[in-house]
Homo-oligomer: A and B are copies of this chain.
Amino acid sequence: MSADGKLHLGAFMRPVSLHTGSWRHEAAWADANFNFDRLSYLAKRLEAAKFDAFFMADHLAVLNMPIEALRRSQTVTSFEPFTLLSALSVVTDRIGLVATASTTFDEPYHIARRFASLDHLSRGRAGWNIVTTSNPDAALNFGRTEQPDHAERYARAREFYDVVTGLWDSFADDAFARDAASGQFFDPERMHVLNHKGEYLSVRGPLNIARPVQGWPVIVQAGASEPGRQLAAETAEVVFAATPTLAAGKAFYADVKGRAVAAGRSRDDIAILPGAFVVVGDTVDEARAKRAHLDSLVHYESALASLSVALGVDASGFDPDGPLPEIPETNQSKSSRERVIALARNEGLTVRQLAQRLGGYAGLAFVGTPGTIANDMQQWLEEEGSDGFNVTFPWQPGGLDAFVDRVVPELQRRGIFRREYEGTTLRDHLGLRRPENRFFPE
Protein backbone atom coordinates (compact mmCIF):
# COMPACT_ATOMS: atom_id res chain seq x y z
CA MET A 1 0.00 0.00 0.00
CA SER A 2 1.38 3.41 -0.92
CA ALA A 3 2.26 5.84 1.86
CA ASP A 4 -1.12 7.59 1.76
CA GLY A 5 -3.09 4.47 0.78
CA LYS A 6 -3.92 6.00 -2.58
CA LEU A 7 -2.97 5.38 -6.16
CA HIS A 8 -0.50 7.69 -7.85
CA LEU A 9 -0.98 8.09 -11.56
CA GLY A 10 1.47 9.16 -14.19
CA ALA A 11 0.54 9.49 -17.84
CA PHE A 12 3.03 8.05 -20.33
CA MET A 13 2.94 10.72 -23.03
CA ARG A 14 6.03 10.38 -25.21
CA PRO A 15 4.98 8.78 -27.36
CA VAL A 16 1.34 9.65 -26.69
CA SER A 17 0.53 5.95 -26.87
CA LEU A 18 2.82 2.95 -26.69
CA HIS A 19 0.42 0.94 -28.84
CA THR A 20 2.05 1.00 -32.25
CA GLY A 21 -1.30 1.00 -34.07
CA SER A 22 -2.73 3.88 -32.05
CA TRP A 23 -2.29 6.67 -34.56
CA ARG A 24 -4.18 4.67 -37.22
CA HIS A 25 -7.39 4.47 -35.16
CA GLU A 26 -10.16 6.03 -37.25
CA ALA A 27 -10.97 8.62 -34.56
CA ALA A 28 -7.33 9.28 -33.59
CA TRP A 29 -5.37 12.47 -33.98
CA ALA A 30 -2.68 10.91 -36.15
CA ASP A 31 -0.34 13.81 -35.34
CA ALA A 32 -1.00 13.97 -31.57
CA ASN A 33 2.59 13.05 -30.77
CA PHE A 34 3.93 16.13 -32.54
CA ASN A 35 1.28 18.82 -32.30
CA PHE A 36 1.50 21.26 -29.44
CA ASP A 37 -2.19 22.21 -29.41
CA ARG A 38 -3.22 18.58 -29.11
CA LEU A 39 -0.63 17.90 -26.41
CA SER A 40 -1.89 20.97 -24.52
CA TYR A 41 -5.42 19.61 -24.65
CA LEU A 42 -4.27 16.25 -23.34
CA ALA A 43 -2.14 17.76 -20.56
CA LYS A 44 -5.04 19.94 -19.41
CA ARG A 45 -7.38 16.97 -19.34
CA LEU A 46 -4.89 14.97 -17.26
CA GLU A 47 -4.57 17.88 -14.88
CA ALA A 48 -8.34 18.25 -14.55
CA ALA A 49 -8.38 14.53 -13.65
CA LYS A 50 -5.69 15.20 -10.97
CA PHE A 51 -2.96 13.01 -12.44
CA ASP A 52 0.31 13.23 -10.55
CA ALA A 53 2.47 13.68 -13.62
CA PHE A 54 2.81 13.97 -17.38
CA PHE A 55 5.76 11.77 -18.34
CA MET A 56 8.00 12.00 -21.38
CA ALA A 57 10.33 9.18 -22.31
CA ASP A 58 13.29 10.22 -24.42
CA HIS A 59 15.53 8.68 -27.01
CA LEU A 60 18.72 10.01 -28.53
CA ALA A 61 18.26 8.41 -31.95
CA VAL A 62 15.53 7.38 -34.30
CA LEU A 63 14.50 4.08 -32.69
CA ASN A 64 16.39 1.09 -33.97
CA MET A 65 13.65 -1.07 -35.41
CA PRO A 66 13.27 -2.80 -38.77
CA ILE A 67 12.44 -0.27 -41.46
CA GLU A 68 9.02 -1.90 -42.00
CA ALA A 69 8.19 -1.12 -38.38
CA LEU A 70 9.86 2.28 -38.33
CA ARG A 71 7.93 3.60 -41.33
CA ARG A 72 4.73 2.86 -39.40
CA SER A 73 5.88 4.41 -36.12
CA GLN A 74 4.73 7.78 -34.80
CA THR A 75 7.88 7.95 -32.64
CA VAL A 76 10.04 9.08 -35.53
CA THR A 77 9.29 12.74 -34.87
CA SER A 78 8.72 13.91 -31.28
CA PHE A 79 9.33 17.06 -29.30
CA GLU A 80 12.45 17.22 -27.15
CA PRO A 81 11.31 16.93 -23.49
CA PHE A 82 12.66 20.15 -21.92
CA THR A 83 11.27 22.36 -24.64
CA LEU A 84 7.86 20.66 -24.66
CA LEU A 85 7.48 20.49 -20.87
CA SER A 86 8.50 24.14 -20.48
CA ALA A 87 5.80 25.09 -22.95
CA LEU A 88 3.27 22.86 -21.18
CA SER A 89 4.19 24.43 -17.84
CA VAL A 90 2.52 27.60 -19.11
CA VAL A 91 -0.81 25.97 -20.02
CA THR A 92 -1.04 23.92 -16.81
CA ASP A 93 -0.83 24.76 -13.12
CA ARG A 94 -0.48 21.69 -11.03
CA ILE A 95 0.39 18.52 -12.91
CA GLY A 96 3.96 17.24 -12.53
CA LEU A 97 6.23 17.37 -15.59
CA VAL A 98 8.71 14.51 -15.83
CA ALA A 99 11.45 14.55 -18.45
CA THR A 100 13.79 11.71 -19.26
CA ALA A 101 17.47 12.60 -19.54
CA SER A 102 20.44 10.37 -20.16
CA THR A 103 23.47 10.19 -17.89
CA THR A 104 25.48 8.49 -20.62
CA PHE A 105 25.26 11.08 -23.38
CA ASP A 106 24.87 14.37 -21.58
CA GLU A 107 26.72 16.53 -19.06
CA PRO A 108 25.67 17.02 -15.43
CA TYR A 109 26.02 20.80 -15.60
CA HIS A 110 23.54 20.94 -18.49
CA ILE A 111 21.13 18.49 -16.88
CA ALA A 112 21.21 20.20 -13.50
CA ARG A 113 20.56 23.57 -15.11
CA ARG A 114 17.70 22.51 -17.33
CA PHE A 115 15.82 20.71 -14.58
CA ALA A 116 16.39 23.61 -12.20
CA SER A 117 15.11 26.01 -14.83
CA LEU A 118 12.05 23.84 -15.58
CA ASP A 119 11.37 23.51 -11.86
CA HIS A 120 11.42 27.29 -11.41
CA LEU A 121 9.31 27.93 -14.52
CA SER A 122 6.73 25.38 -13.40
CA ARG A 123 6.88 26.47 -9.75
CA GLY A 124 7.99 23.10 -8.46
CA ARG A 125 6.62 20.52 -10.85
CA ALA A 126 9.72 19.00 -12.50
CA GLY A 127 10.89 15.40 -12.30
CA TRP A 128 13.97 13.73 -13.79
CA ASN A 129 13.69 10.21 -15.16
CA ILE A 130 17.32 9.06 -15.02
CA VAL A 131 18.18 6.67 -17.84
CA THR A 132 21.47 5.23 -18.96
CA THR A 133 20.27 4.82 -22.60
CA SER A 134 20.36 1.24 -23.79
CA ASN A 135 19.81 1.92 -27.50
CA PRO A 136 23.25 1.35 -29.09
CA ASP A 137 22.36 3.68 -31.99
CA ALA A 138 22.48 6.63 -29.61
CA ALA A 139 26.24 6.23 -29.21
CA LEU A 140 26.68 6.78 -32.95
CA ASN A 141 25.07 10.20 -32.65
CA PHE A 142 27.54 11.22 -29.95
CA GLY A 143 30.92 10.55 -31.44
CA ARG A 144 31.27 6.96 -30.28
CA THR A 145 31.37 3.72 -32.18
CA GLU A 146 29.80 1.80 -29.34
CA GLN A 147 28.15 2.56 -26.06
CA PRO A 148 29.94 2.13 -22.75
CA ASP A 149 29.06 -1.24 -21.23
CA HIS A 150 26.11 -1.70 -18.88
CA ALA A 151 28.08 -1.67 -15.62
CA GLU A 152 30.01 1.43 -16.59
CA ARG A 153 26.83 3.22 -17.65
CA TYR A 154 25.32 2.60 -14.21
CA ALA A 155 28.50 3.53 -12.34
CA ARG A 156 28.59 6.83 -14.21
CA ALA A 157 24.86 7.33 -13.59
CA ARG A 158 25.37 7.01 -9.84
CA GLU A 159 28.17 9.57 -9.83
CA PHE A 160 26.20 11.79 -12.22
CA TYR A 161 23.31 11.84 -9.75
CA ASP A 162 25.67 12.99 -6.98
CA VAL A 163 26.97 15.79 -9.14
CA VAL A 164 23.56 16.97 -10.31
CA THR A 165 22.06 17.00 -6.83
CA GLY A 166 25.22 18.71 -5.56
CA LEU A 167 24.84 21.41 -8.21
CA TRP A 168 21.19 21.90 -7.25
CA ASP A 169 22.46 22.62 -3.73
CA SER A 170 24.75 25.42 -4.96
CA PHE A 171 22.73 28.12 -3.23
CA ALA A 172 20.96 28.33 0.11
CA ASP A 173 17.29 29.21 -0.23
CA ASP A 174 17.94 32.57 1.40
CA ALA A 175 20.99 33.41 -0.74
CA PHE A 176 19.20 35.98 -2.88
CA ALA A 177 18.49 39.10 -0.88
CA ARG A 178 18.19 41.41 -3.91
CA ASP A 179 18.69 44.31 -1.52
CA ALA A 180 18.65 47.40 -3.69
CA ALA A 181 19.63 49.68 -0.82
CA SER A 182 22.91 47.95 0.03
CA GLY A 183 23.45 46.71 -3.51
CA GLN A 184 23.82 43.11 -2.38
CA PHE A 185 22.07 40.88 -4.93
CA PHE A 186 23.10 37.66 -3.24
CA ASP A 187 25.33 36.53 -0.42
CA PRO A 188 28.43 34.66 -1.63
CA GLU A 189 28.63 33.03 1.81
CA ARG A 190 25.40 31.26 0.92
CA MET A 191 26.86 29.85 -2.32
CA HIS A 192 28.74 26.54 -2.42
CA VAL A 193 31.40 25.62 -4.97
CA LEU A 194 31.04 21.88 -5.54
CA ASN A 195 34.57 21.06 -6.73
CA HIS A 196 33.61 17.50 -7.64
CA LYS A 197 36.41 15.26 -8.91
CA GLY A 198 35.33 11.66 -9.34
CA GLU A 199 35.93 8.60 -11.44
CA TYR A 200 33.87 9.71 -14.43
CA LEU A 201 33.15 13.37 -13.84
CA SER A 202 34.88 16.48 -12.77
CA VAL A 203 32.69 19.52 -12.26
CA ARG A 204 33.55 22.65 -10.36
CA GLY A 205 30.24 24.50 -10.03
CA PRO A 206 28.46 26.45 -8.69
CA LEU A 207 25.35 26.17 -10.84
CA ASN A 208 24.29 29.53 -12.31
CA ILE A 209 20.72 29.14 -11.12
CA ALA A 210 19.00 29.30 -7.74
CA ARG A 211 18.09 26.11 -5.88
CA PRO A 212 14.99 24.50 -7.43
CA VAL A 213 11.61 25.22 -5.87
CA GLN A 214 11.39 21.57 -4.83
CA GLY A 215 14.98 21.59 -3.56
CA TRP A 216 15.58 18.83 -6.06
CA PRO A 217 13.21 17.90 -8.85
CA VAL A 218 11.68 14.47 -8.16
CA ILE A 219 14.06 11.64 -9.06
CA VAL A 220 12.57 8.92 -11.27
CA GLN A 221 14.22 5.74 -12.50
CA ALA A 222 13.17 3.01 -14.91
CA GLY A 223 16.02 0.50 -15.10
CA ALA A 224 15.18 -3.09 -14.26
CA SER A 225 18.53 -4.89 -14.12
CA GLU A 226 20.42 -5.55 -10.90
CA PRO A 227 22.37 -2.28 -11.05
CA GLY A 228 19.21 -0.54 -12.28
CA ARG A 229 17.29 -1.64 -9.19
CA GLN A 230 20.17 -0.72 -6.95
CA LEU A 231 20.39 2.78 -8.43
CA ALA A 232 16.64 3.11 -7.89
CA ALA A 233 16.87 1.93 -4.29
CA GLU A 234 19.60 4.46 -3.53
CA THR A 235 18.29 7.45 -5.41
CA ALA A 236 14.81 7.16 -6.92
CA GLU A 237 11.60 8.62 -5.52
CA VAL A 238 9.48 7.14 -8.29
CA VAL A 239 10.25 3.91 -10.15
CA PHE A 240 8.64 3.17 -13.49
CA ALA A 241 8.38 -0.58 -13.50
CA ALA A 242 7.64 -2.84 -16.44
CA THR A 243 6.19 -5.75 -14.48
CA PRO A 244 3.67 -7.56 -16.71
CA THR A 245 1.76 -9.49 -14.00
CA LEU A 246 0.70 -8.93 -10.42
CA ALA A 247 3.07 -11.68 -9.28
CA ALA A 248 5.98 -10.00 -11.05
CA GLY A 249 4.83 -6.66 -9.67
CA LYS A 250 4.81 -7.91 -6.09
CA ALA A 251 8.26 -9.44 -6.41
CA PHE A 252 9.68 -6.25 -7.92
CA TYR A 253 7.94 -4.08 -5.32
CA ALA A 254 9.27 -6.13 -2.40
CA ASP A 255 12.74 -6.22 -3.91
CA VAL A 256 13.09 -2.50 -4.58
CA LYS A 257 11.47 -1.38 -1.31
CA GLY A 258 13.69 -3.84 0.54
CA ARG A 259 16.77 -2.48 -1.18
CA ALA A 260 15.72 1.06 -0.27
CA VAL A 261 15.42 0.12 3.38
CA ALA A 262 18.79 -1.61 3.22
CA ALA A 263 20.20 1.62 1.78
CA GLY A 264 18.94 3.51 4.83
CA ARG A 265 15.81 4.97 3.28
CA SER A 266 12.16 4.48 4.15
CA ARG A 267 9.74 2.38 2.08
CA ASP A 268 7.62 5.48 1.62
CA ASP A 269 10.48 7.37 0.02
CA ILE A 270 9.85 5.47 -3.24
CA ALA A 271 6.64 5.11 -5.22
CA ILE A 272 6.58 2.19 -7.65
CA LEU A 273 4.48 2.74 -10.75
CA PRO A 274 4.37 0.01 -13.39
CA GLY A 275 3.40 0.97 -16.91
CA ALA A 276 -0.20 -0.07 -17.65
CA PHE A 277 -2.10 -0.04 -20.93
CA VAL A 278 -5.76 0.66 -20.18
CA VAL A 279 -8.68 0.05 -22.55
CA VAL A 280 -12.14 0.99 -21.30
CA GLY A 281 -15.44 -0.49 -22.55
CA ASP A 282 -19.06 -0.72 -21.48
CA THR A 283 -18.48 -4.43 -21.09
CA VAL A 284 -15.32 -6.49 -20.86
CA ASP A 285 -16.10 -7.96 -24.26
CA GLU A 286 -16.45 -4.54 -25.79
CA ALA A 287 -13.12 -3.45 -24.31
CA ARG A 288 -11.48 -6.60 -25.68
CA ALA A 289 -12.97 -5.93 -29.08
CA LYS A 290 -11.57 -2.40 -28.97
CA ARG A 291 -8.16 -3.78 -28.21
CA ALA A 292 -8.43 -6.39 -30.94
CA HIS A 293 -9.35 -3.65 -33.36
CA LEU A 294 -6.26 -1.64 -32.43
CA ASP A 295 -4.12 -4.78 -32.71
CA SER A 296 -5.50 -5.35 -36.20
CA LEU A 297 -3.97 -2.00 -37.21
CA VAL A 298 -0.46 -3.25 -36.50
CA HIS A 299 1.35 -4.22 -39.67
CA TYR A 300 1.86 -7.97 -39.85
CA GLU A 301 5.42 -7.74 -41.07
CA SER A 302 6.58 -5.70 -38.11
CA ALA A 303 4.42 -7.72 -35.69
CA LEU A 304 6.08 -10.92 -36.88
CA ALA A 305 9.45 -9.57 -35.78
CA SER A 306 8.10 -9.12 -32.25
CA LEU A 307 6.62 -12.64 -32.26
CA SER A 308 9.86 -14.19 -33.47
CA VAL A 309 11.85 -12.46 -30.75
CA ALA A 310 9.39 -13.49 -28.05
CA LEU A 311 9.35 -17.12 -29.15
CA GLY A 312 13.03 -17.38 -29.94
CA VAL A 313 12.24 -18.88 -33.37
CA ASP A 314 11.56 -17.41 -36.80
CA ALA A 315 7.76 -17.16 -37.07
CA SER A 316 7.61 -15.88 -40.63
CA GLY A 317 6.78 -19.32 -42.07
CA PHE A 318 3.74 -19.89 -39.83
CA ASP A 319 0.20 -19.80 -41.27
CA PRO A 320 -0.99 -16.33 -40.21
CA ASP A 321 -4.59 -17.46 -39.90
CA GLY A 322 -3.94 -20.76 -38.18
CA PRO A 323 -3.26 -21.48 -34.52
CA LEU A 324 0.26 -21.25 -33.10
CA PRO A 325 2.16 -24.45 -34.02
CA GLU A 326 4.23 -26.43 -31.52
CA ILE A 327 7.29 -24.37 -30.58
CA PRO A 328 10.50 -26.22 -29.71
CA GLU A 329 12.21 -25.14 -26.49
CA THR A 330 15.31 -23.03 -26.92
CA ASN A 331 17.91 -21.82 -24.48
CA GLN A 332 17.19 -18.14 -24.75
CA SER A 333 13.95 -16.47 -23.76
CA LYS A 334 12.45 -19.48 -21.99
CA SER A 335 10.05 -17.49 -19.83
CA SER A 336 8.86 -15.21 -22.60
CA ARG A 337 8.27 -18.24 -24.87
CA GLU A 338 6.07 -19.84 -22.25
CA ARG A 339 4.15 -16.65 -21.60
CA VAL A 340 3.43 -16.20 -25.28
CA ILE A 341 2.31 -19.78 -25.79
CA ALA A 342 -0.03 -19.47 -22.81
CA LEU A 343 -1.42 -16.20 -24.15
CA ALA A 344 -2.21 -17.74 -27.54
CA ARG A 345 -3.92 -20.69 -25.86
CA ASN A 346 -5.90 -18.70 -23.26
CA GLU A 347 -7.32 -16.22 -25.70
CA GLY A 348 -7.51 -18.57 -28.68
CA LEU A 349 -5.47 -16.24 -30.88
CA THR A 350 -4.36 -16.98 -34.43
CA VAL A 351 -0.70 -16.44 -35.32
CA ARG A 352 -1.64 -13.09 -36.84
CA GLN A 353 -3.61 -11.97 -33.80
CA LEU A 354 -0.84 -13.12 -31.49
CA ALA A 355 1.83 -11.32 -33.48
CA GLN A 356 -0.24 -8.18 -33.64
CA ARG A 357 -0.91 -8.31 -29.92
CA LEU A 358 2.82 -8.46 -29.22
CA GLY A 359 3.60 -5.85 -31.83
CA GLY A 360 0.88 -3.57 -30.43
CA TYR A 361 1.50 -3.48 -26.69
CA ALA A 362 2.82 -6.53 -24.92
CA GLY A 363 3.09 -5.40 -21.28
CA LEU A 364 0.66 -5.11 -18.39
CA ALA A 365 -2.84 -4.28 -19.64
CA PHE A 366 -6.18 -3.59 -17.95
CA VAL A 367 -8.88 -4.18 -20.53
CA GLY A 368 -12.42 -4.00 -19.20
CA THR A 369 -15.08 -1.78 -17.69
CA PRO A 370 -14.37 1.10 -15.29
CA GLY A 371 -15.35 -1.32 -12.53
CA THR A 372 -13.05 -4.18 -13.52
CA ILE A 373 -10.17 -1.77 -14.18
CA ALA A 374 -10.63 -0.13 -10.77
CA ASN A 375 -10.81 -3.62 -9.21
CA ASP A 376 -7.52 -4.57 -10.81
CA MET A 377 -5.82 -1.33 -9.84
CA GLN A 378 -7.10 -1.59 -6.30
CA GLN A 379 -5.80 -5.13 -6.03
CA TRP A 380 -2.33 -4.07 -7.15
CA LEU A 381 -2.42 -1.27 -4.59
CA GLU A 382 -3.69 -3.38 -1.70
CA GLU A 383 -1.48 -6.37 -2.40
CA GLU A 384 1.61 -4.23 -2.83
CA GLY A 385 2.09 -4.83 -6.50
CA SER A 386 2.50 -1.09 -6.93
CA ASP A 387 1.77 2.38 -5.56
CA GLY A 388 -0.07 3.36 -8.70
CA PHE A 389 0.54 3.23 -12.44
CA ASN A 390 2.13 5.01 -15.32
CA VAL A 391 -0.79 4.80 -17.70
CA THR A 392 -0.37 4.48 -21.44
CA PHE A 393 -3.48 5.13 -23.49
CA PRO A 394 -4.67 3.08 -26.46
CA TRP A 395 -5.10 6.10 -28.72
CA GLN A 396 -5.52 9.86 -28.54
CA PRO A 397 -7.68 11.59 -27.56
CA GLY A 398 -10.37 8.92 -27.14
CA GLY A 399 -8.36 6.49 -25.04
CA LEU A 400 -7.26 9.20 -22.63
CA ASP A 401 -10.73 10.76 -22.55
CA ALA A 402 -12.27 7.40 -21.64
CA PHE A 403 -9.82 6.88 -18.79
CA VAL A 404 -10.31 10.38 -17.43
CA ASP A 405 -14.09 10.43 -17.83
CA ARG A 406 -14.86 6.92 -16.66
CA VAL A 407 -12.04 5.27 -14.72
CA VAL A 408 -10.85 8.23 -12.65
CA PRO A 409 -14.31 8.93 -11.14
CA GLU A 410 -14.61 5.26 -10.22
CA LEU A 411 -11.22 5.38 -8.47
CA GLN A 412 -12.27 8.55 -6.67
CA ARG A 413 -15.59 7.02 -5.62
CA ARG A 414 -13.65 4.20 -4.00
CA GLY A 415 -11.44 6.69 -2.15
CA ILE A 416 -8.25 5.41 -3.76
CA PHE A 417 -7.49 8.46 -5.88
CA ARG A 418 -7.51 12.15 -5.02
CA ARG A 419 -10.39 14.48 -5.93
CA GLU A 420 -8.23 17.57 -5.49
CA TYR A 421 -4.50 18.19 -5.49
CA GLU A 422 -3.21 18.34 -1.93
CA GLY A 423 -0.52 20.88 -2.77
CA THR A 424 1.18 22.65 -5.64
CA THR A 425 4.40 20.75 -6.34
CA LEU A 426 5.06 17.30 -7.73
CA ARG A 427 6.61 16.44 -4.36
CA ASP A 428 3.34 17.44 -2.72
CA HIS A 429 1.37 15.13 -5.03
CA LEU A 430 3.67 12.22 -4.24
CA GLY A 431 3.88 12.93 -0.52
CA LEU A 432 7.64 13.44 -0.73
CA ARG A 433 9.71 15.69 1.50
CA ARG A 434 11.74 18.57 0.13
CA PRO A 435 15.35 17.38 0.48
CA GLU A 436 17.57 19.33 2.78
CA ASN A 437 20.42 21.28 1.19
CA ARG A 438 23.51 19.25 2.06
CA PHE A 439 25.72 22.35 2.17
CA PHE A 440 23.27 24.61 3.98
CA PRO A 441 21.37 22.44 6.47
CA GLU A 442 18.54 24.13 8.33
- Which A positions have Cβ atoms within 8 angstroms of B? 23-26, 28, 30-31, 34, 36, 59-63, 67, 70-80, 82-84, 86-87, 89-91, 105-107, 109-110, 113-114, 116-118, 120-121, 137, 140-143, 171, 176, 178, 180, 183-188, 191, 201-210, 297, 299
Contacts and interface: CB of A to CB of B under 8 A. Distances in A.
A131 to B, nearest CB: 15
Contacts of A86: 82-84, 86-87
A30 B181 CA distance: 11
B60 A109 contact: yes
Top 10 A-B pairs, shortest CB-CB distance = A86-B86, A80-B117, A140-B204, A90-B90, A83-B117, A83-B86, A30-B178, A77-B210, A109-B141, A24-B180
Given A67-B188, A209-B79, A204 B31 contact: no
9 contacts: A71-B187, A74-B185, A76-B208, A80-B113, A82-B86, A84-B121, A87-B87, A87-B89, A90-B90
Contact of A34 (B59, B110, B120): B120
A79 B76 CA distance: 30
Nearest to A21: B183
A30 B191 CA distance: 19
A140 B87 CA distance: 31
Given A83-B83, A87-B86, A121-B36, A76 B186 contact: yes
Given A23-B180, A28-B180, 19 more contacts: A26-B180, A60-B109, A71-B184, A72-B183, A72-B185, A76-B185, A76-B208, A78-B209, A79-B209, A80-B114, A80-B116, A80-B209, A83-B117, A84-B117, A86-B87, A87-B121, A105-B107, A141-B204, A141-B205
Contacts of A71: 184-188
- Main secondary structure on A side of the interface with B: loop
Contacts of A34: 120, 210
A184 B70 contact: no
A78 B208 CA distance: 7
Copies in the complex: 2
A194 to B, nearest CB: 9
B178 A143 contact: no
B143 A201 contact: yes
Contact of A83 (B76, B82, B137): B82
Contacts of A107: 105-106, 142-143
Nearest to A170: B62
A15 to B, nearest CB: 11
A71 B147 CA distance: 43
A72 B177 CA distance: 10
Contacts of A185: 23, 30, 71-74, 76
Nearest to A201: B143
A188 B70 contact: yes
Contact of A186 (B28, B77, B83, B202): B77
Contact of A183 (B113, B121, B204, B299): B299
Nearest to A88: B90
Contacts of A142: 107, 109, 203
A80 B83 CA distance: 11
A77 B209 contact: yes
A199 to B, nearest CB: 12
Contacts of A176: 77
Nearest to A205: B141
A342 to B, nearest CB: 29
Contact of A178 (B23, B26, B105): B23
A109 to B, nearest CB: 4
A75 B208 CA distance: 8
Nearest to A210: B77
B62 A206 contact: yes
A263 B76 CA distance: 36
A71 B175 CA distance: 10
Most buried by B among A36, A70, A83, A180: A83
